[in-house]
Structure 1
């Protein structure tokens, strides 16, 4: 039976570069860094490797979150609202839609606040006590209640591949005919718990995020929320909707190699991307761009480049395979990384530019062929096919393949 074609008709973005798709795209195209001083909690202790991150402006976060102590719920609602407006869904369509949310942080901000107050012996309010027990699935339920969504709900927390898997899950639900509309994506506003955890791992950069640069020394954390409305191509065309992109396929598996690292030879990266292409019957020659996971940690960047190089060797095209890590501008947005990077790729597709990989001083091309072009600047280019990679702790690996929606 022929697969149903699934497209994205709505998209909402919140990042360190902008509060909507257009401001976000402008910042990406300019190659602007979202790095700012962290204000959500105190970072002045000498143990911290850095005091900066790609955070939302304090005023923006306060305006959006208001009294929402979880932060996640309001930020998710903010970007989902944009996506629903794009897709022009009726109240009835929203009520029947599925909601799939990827997150890594969940409600850890309120838990952190509770724990600090408890340890310091401060009086704990009933509200904070109640909120401290919130979890990732509670956030999904609260967001669903806000929009009146009565369809299937799903929370995915596969670390940093969570929101890529959320979109992939939405693709599967639509193709199986379980629902006619899916709202999928991810939200993570990083917290003191995440920051101190990565600091203890010595994974934070002491300067800034420099993926695929020889001087890279670690990642930079980031805030974001990015969501999509997915539906059948036929229904989208019937309603004369704008189509941002077609979601062709995705692949995920658990590498089961190491708690934090991928296989150093790049074989798992290659297999994940190759399987994604094979599912859609797309040859590596047709692939134009890879939005790499690219965390700027020495081992993971090297492994990913080797895997991409293995795929590039299967190409006969004279055009190089373009690669960049937009974490250089957005930071590592943890469970929301996949969705914000997918949104960034789609915006580049629609506006005819390939996103840059900033902060590169000397490119790490060791053992990698000339068939790969790591972009240290934005280039104006129309492109049709792209993969976005998300490779997480615990061996959770996923890749998603999209096609430009302009000519569909």
Structure 2
């Protein structure tokens, strides 16, 4: 039986680090990236916390060597940095040596820049250049250009499950023989629009987020980008690549319940986990750690908890949400949590679910609250988005 699709490279930038190593150090030492807002001029600056990358757009542009008159959004710059890291980590010298694609995901796109200049586009030729970088696809093409990639390029935007679906599509393209190698992941920057939007939905916490806690108030938004390099078995053998881990299973479902809420019994979440098990050939008892979606909203944690109980019964493995570290990074969430899942496999660790105090009254689930060492061979990672789009990825030790 095939182990799955090989993962040969990873790259990440988030509020807890600008590299894979920095992110891992923060995870094992309990260093949260949730803080006050510095880079956005918003009325909520002093009353909401975010997972913000403490680099200005000018500093990010310098890291990429971009000219002063570039029209890169922050989303595109974060994505390009993470994708370049992943390619370097995979030891790729010639990006077009194999039939290679890029599948990127985003929900914000270039909005973080276009919203700044909305009122002065008619007056300013200088600022109109950002209109062209507004759409989600522009982000992906900018990343592809930075990589020098000439092959298949596409964009996925399914809200908070976006990167999981990008990873899933990449795996399917390799399995079907359409591509030999795919760079997959997601990127999203913080913006006024998303901060105001989640505040309007009344699911934004005024303090640090507390996933699976009975007294949870809501999420903290974050910004991040992460990409993985997926390669076919043939490509790995030809180049004698080191395999970091395998993507062994994946599943996507939609509970068709509500525009912004998950169904009360976690129907979509349960189905996506069930499908992932079927693809992988694994059973629930094989899973050693669940990296939960765990947004700390009243609806998600109840719905996801019920889905986990439906899938695992009374034998729920160790689980935690890493969003108290990074905030909820929307389309990038599944990608950064994929990196964290691979690191968990490589280092045999379960990350702590920070800020947890009180068990939810609806069920008897308690997340892992301190760093735990144990043998980990398989990790399940959940990501659920608006519109009912639910996705599950399974990662296995190489």
Normalising TM by the smaller chain, what interval?
over 0.9
Distance 2:354 2:367 in 1: 10
2:350 to 350, 354, 368: 354
Distance 2:384 2:191 in 1: 21
Task: List per-residue Cα deviations over 1:87-106 (Å, max 9, x = no partner).
Answer: 11132536741000011110
Whether contact under 8 Å (1:384, 1:403) holds in the other structure is: yes
Corresponding residue of 1:57: 54
Q: What SS is found at the alignment partner of 1:187? A: strand
Provide closer, same or farther for how the CA distance between residues 95 and 240 of structure 1 changes in structure 2, counting only shifts above 3 A: closer
Shift of 1:382: 2.1
Alignment of 1:122-141 (within 5 A): 123-124=123-124, 126-134=125-133, 135-141=135-141
Whether contact under 8 Å (1:322, 1:375) holds in the other structure is: yes
TM-score (norm 2): 0.93
Shift of 1:235: 2.8
Alignment of 1:364-383 (within 5 A): 364=360, 366-368=362-364, 373-383=366-376
Whether contact under 8 Å (1:253, 1:398) holds in the other structure is: yes
Q: What SS is found at the alignment partner of 1:93? A: coil
Shift of 1:365: 5.5
Corresponding residue of 1:111: 114
Distance 2:171 2:42 in 1: 40
Distance 2:97 2:281 in 1: 32
How many residue pairs get aligned? The number is 390
Alignment of 1:8-407 (within 5 A): 8-44=7-43, 50-58=47-55, 62-66=58-62, 67=68, 69-93=72-96, 96-117=99-120, 123-124=123-124, 126-134=125-133, 135-313=135-313, 315=315, 320-364=316-360, 366-368=362-364, 373-405=366-398
Shift of 1:393: 0.5
Shift of 1:52: 1.9
Distance 1:82 1:202 in 2: 36
Q: What SS is found at the alignment partner of 2:149? A: coil
Shift of 1:202: 1.4
Distance 2:193 2:353 in 1: 28
Shift of 1:283: 1.0
Whether contact under 8 Å (2:48, 2:207) holds in the other structure is: no
Whether contact under 8 Å (1:7, 1:243) holds in the other structure is: yes
Distance 2:5 2:289 in 1: 20
Provide closer, same or farther for how the CA distance between residues 350 and 186 of structure 1 changes in structure 2, counting only shifts above 3 A: same
Task: List per-residue Cα deviations over 1:35-75 (Å, max 9, x = no partner).
Answer: 12212222345xx793320100135x542234555012221
Give the gaps of 5 or more residues in structure 2: 63-67
Corresponding residue of 2:65: none
Shift of 1:5: 3.5
Distance 2:331 2:46 in 1: 22
Distance 1:19 1:361 in 2: 30
Distance 1:4 1:152 in 2: 25
Q: What SS is found at the alignment partner of 2:113? A: helix
Provide closer, same or farther for how the CA distance between residues 92 and 360 of structure 1 changes in structure 2, counting only shifts above 3 A: closer
Give the gaps of 5 or more residues in structure 1: none
